[in-house]
Structure formats: C-alpha cells, structure tokens
Amino acid sequence: MYSLKNFIDFHKDVMGINDVLSVRYEIARMLKKYQERTLKFNKIKEYPGKYVVGNLINSRDIIKYILNAKSDVEVYSKIINACEHPLKPREANDATFLYEKYDDLKNIPILLHYERDGGPYITSSVVIAKDPETGIQNASIHRLMMIDEKHLTIRIVPRHLYRIYKKSKDRGEDLNVAIAIGLHPIILIAAAASPPYGVDEIYVANKLSDNNIDVFYLENSELFVPTSAEIIIEGRVLKDKLANEGPFVDITGTYDIVRRQPIIEVKNVFMAETPYYHAILPAGIEHRLLMGLYREAIIWRRVSEVVPHVKAVRLTTGGCGWLHCIISIKKNNDGDPKNAILTAFSAHPSLKMVIAVDEDIDVDDPNDVEWAIATRFQADEDLIIIRNCRGSSIDPSADQHNLLTSKMGIDATIPFKKDITNFIKAKIP
C-alpha cells in the first residue's frame, strides 16, 4: 500500500527535527530554511503525540523516484498516460484513518505560515466530491483557511470542483466533501493534475502506482477516499454561505487578493494512530513543483505536436513555477520557435513569458538561457508581444479580477540564415 508513512520510512533524506516547535510560524520557518530536505517534526508544542512532515516533493529527482522515471519526458508521458487511462482502485474494508474520531478540528496541527495570513491554513488537502448528476468523483488540491473549530473557507477556482459545487448549489443542496490529508506523494501528483472532467484523480493515482491505491467508502458522505490517508475530514460545502478567504501567500510569494469564498462545515474528523500531518509551505519548492508539473506535461505534449522534437520544458523558479516557461527544441525552420511559443501560451493560459531555446541550452541554468538571449535573439525579429490576453489570478501585476495580462515570447534560437558555427560555445580540447 502506498502511504505517507511508508514514503517517509523508505526516504533516505529525511531530516528529523526534535526541537519543540509551534504551529505558529516556527514550523513554517524551518520548512522555508530547509526547502530541499524532507522534514519530520517530532515535537509539536501545541499537539503532543502528533507529527508534521513537509517538503516531500522537493526536487525533480524526487518526482522521478516517485514515478519510477528516468527523465522529464518519461515523467510527462506517465502522467498523461495515467490521465488518459485511469485505473479503478480496489475497495477495502478498513483504513488507516479509522483509529480515532472527532467532531471538530481541534486535534489537527494546522499551521500559521506568514505574518499577514488570514488564519491557519491547511495546504495539502485533497478535496474529494461527487457530481450530483453523474455520480463521478473529483479529487483536487485546495487551500483551506480555518475560521473556527467547525468551519473552513475553501478557495475554489473555476475548474472541476467549482462545477460540482455549482451543480449542487443550483439544486438547492449542500455539497458533501471528504478532505484527505497525509497522503503518499503519488496521490498528490495525481490530484494536482487536471484530466478531463469526469476522470477521478484517485484512479489516475492508482494507474501511476501500478494498482497500489486502495479506497474506503464513507457512508455518511457517500464518497470513496484513499485508505492510507492519515486524516480525513468529512464535511459539506454550504450552498448559501460565503466568507472572506485570505490573505494567503500564493505560489508567487506575494499575497493573493481576499475573496468571498464558500464555507465548509465540518462533521467528522478521522485520524490514524500517531498521525502525520503534511504541510506544504506556500510559495515553497513543493508548492511550485506540485502546481506546475502537470502544466509542464501538457505544454510538452502540445508543443511536441507542432515542432519536430521537444527536449525539455521548464516552468522556471524565477517565474514562480507558473508564469514563465523555457522550452528547448530542435527546429526544422525559423518558424518552429514561434509556433512553440504560441502553443505553450495556449496550453497553459497563465503563462506570461515563454522563451524558446536550442537543444544545447540548459533550461535549468538561468545564465545559459540569458546567454542564448544575448547571442541568438534580436528584438525586432524574435520578440512576440500579445496584449490583453487571459492571464493568472495570482499575478499581482495583472488585472486579477478580469484575468487580463500581456504576454511576451522570445525566440532565442540560432537563425538558419546565419552560419551556425558563429553561435556555438567555444571548447578547450
């Protein structure tokens, strides 16, 4: 069985933190300080006997390890294949989280991360809900702000969960949800993907894991949840009640705007014995990698359809893992890079800058990319500017309410009309 505890036990690079730390800022401070290490906090000041873990998905090598892949392209291929060929998980009669049961949030070590946060936030929560018409489940990651011990506000962007919530609201019904916390990273990778509506992301996780995800049926909610979850919160999204959500530090490292968002009323809380609570640091490496991985896969897939070969796709660290993209391609003519740039904008509408480079450029080296721009780019020929396009709600420089932004594409590839030998880096034999 794929579980968080098994992942932590077999992970070779876990740093145990034995200092007594508070859920108010102190744990978040350590998560930020050691972002490239998986951390396990063994002594939580306000919650003795509970554990907090974080920075699980802290590098691309870890993603390859989790998915048993040797390259970025194999990672992308596996994710897309799992979304297109999901596998129904087995139903089990027992579950890890059934050890304890409560009726509120008092026993969950929910963190307060940054100084202006609207409240403590659950950041690794996979919210599971069912379409009231088709009965098909959806599982997706959403941030949850704690209002009090019985209520949370949930940020729902206009995607699949919003569609389900809207259907329930139009029927005059509250929406039953199950919130899973403390999951194996392979489930988080699946839940962060966006397969077509009607594809259950738990099925996607089961495919990625080679049929190693089991589910348990919650009778009260009428939902199937992963048996290996450390914590399950049962509740309902209220059809007619909203509250302010935020401020919250999003992937950009800046505060997202405060919005009126739906309220979740908590009914039951189930917990494993000595539960592990997974905290994703907002704007940290784990946040960026999880949020951007599927988008990279889609960009790779779509761009591969219009140019001969795509070596690499990277949503850059400086671009918040979301807004800027570098694509390494092998081109057949001087029009290929511009086609790649425009296709990338279409594949991931939140992008505001795309740089196309040749295969000899390292997409993970900002200096190498800048060198390509310096030596292979001419602004009057190789610059694309598109005004008033759909952008991202998390970009503070954009029109965040109307989702409008301007976009820039840079063709930093070697022009065919010039002698290629003038563009190759000199080597010492």
What amino acid positions are annotated as catalytic residues? 250
Tokens of 352: 């505001």
Per-residue exposure over 169-191, b if at least 16 CB sit within 10 Å of its own CB, e if not: beeeebbbbbbbbbbbbbbbbbb
* Pairing verdict, β 144-148 and 214-218: unpaired
20, 43 contact by CB (below 8 A): yes
Nearest to 110 by CA among 99, 98, 120: 120
